[in-house]
Amino acid sequence: MRFVRRLLLISVVLVVVLAVVAWTLPAQLAYRYFGGTLAPLALRDVGGTVWQGHAAGVAALGNDLGRLDWTLQPRPLLAGNVVAEVVLSGDVLNGHGVVERTADGRLLLHDAIVTLPARVAAPVLAIPMLELLGTIEVRIANARVLGLWPADASGTATWHDAAVAGAAQARLGELQATFASAADGGIAGTVADLGGPLQLAGTFKASLGRYEAQARLSARDNDPHVAEALQFVGQPSEDGSRDLQIRGGQLSAF
């Protein structure tokens, strides 16, 4: 009986020791052995612990995204899932959300919010005479990540304080895109204004190899500043609005 008690005591001590070691395991050591599973993401200057750590820099396909902080949730580990709350802080991108690696190897994203300056969209919109102002906020309710591409995704992208400068200056109001995954694996959705000086209605679809969009734009209540700015956008139509057609190849955010 004494032997059994000692065995149980030793077992408890071992469990406690292993738990303490795991809880305080340096994140840098863990990344050295398991960092390859994060590809195509790469971290540098990793610190803290596996459970609550940080990386001074995180890069994707050669693009520096900024600082990454994470907090691991212990309970999902019992089911073989790794769930972490992450915060990204960068010069261009800022965001937070929940990342989950399931027991069957899927990488999921939940309740993510990413903000970036509107100027990042300039190469896609291809309106060289106008500078894009304001902030774009992307909200992703759920997504399954394949490489750096979101599958089974749904969410919105809102252009807050939308405005343009350069050849013309105008405030555009709030513009929003609603998107979801399409049957072919790409992303498809609609764009519309939220009642500001610019009237906008259109559709878009995108994949890793191609993107395209069509939109009709006009000045609400004949706003003179918006009307002037639209002279540099798309092609005129018979009713006085402007038709914008966008097509491109590989998407690049930076």
159-201 confidence digits (pLDDT tens): 999 999 999 999 999 999 999 998 888 899 999 999 999 999 9
Kindly state whether residues 91 and 130 are assigned to the same domain.
Answer: no
Of 159, 157, 160, 162, nearest in space to 130 by CA: 162
Compare 51 and 189 and report the one with higher pLDDT.
Answer: 189
pTM over 0.75: yes
The reply to whether 31 and 142 lie within a common domain is: no
Residue 223 has pLDDT above 70, yes or no: yes
Structure confidence at residue 103 (pLDDT)? 84
Q: Are residues 185 and 149 in the same domain?
A: yes
End position of a domain, from candidates 105, 131, 149: 105
Whether residue 122 sits in one domain with residue 240 = yes
Check whether 127 has a pLDDT greater than 60. Answer: yes
Of the two residues 130 and 186, the one the predictor is more confident about is 130
Q: Using CA atoms, how far apart are residues 7 and 134, in angstroms rounded to an integer?
A: 65
Boundary residue ending a domain (55, 82, 105) = 105
Cβ neighbourhood burial of 249 (10 Å; 0-12, 13-18, 19+): exposed
Same-domain pairing of 88 and 121:
no
Same domain, 211 and 193: yes
Residue 57 has pLDDT above 80, yes or no: yes
Instruction: Identify the domain containing residue 74 by its residue range.
Output: 1-105
Number of domain units in the chain? 2
The confidence score (pLDDT) of residue 251 equals 53
- pLDDT tens-digit map of 105-115: 888 889 999 99
Q: Name the domain boundary from 79, 105, 131.
A: 105
Task: Indicate whether 152 and 199 sit together in one domain.
Answer: yes
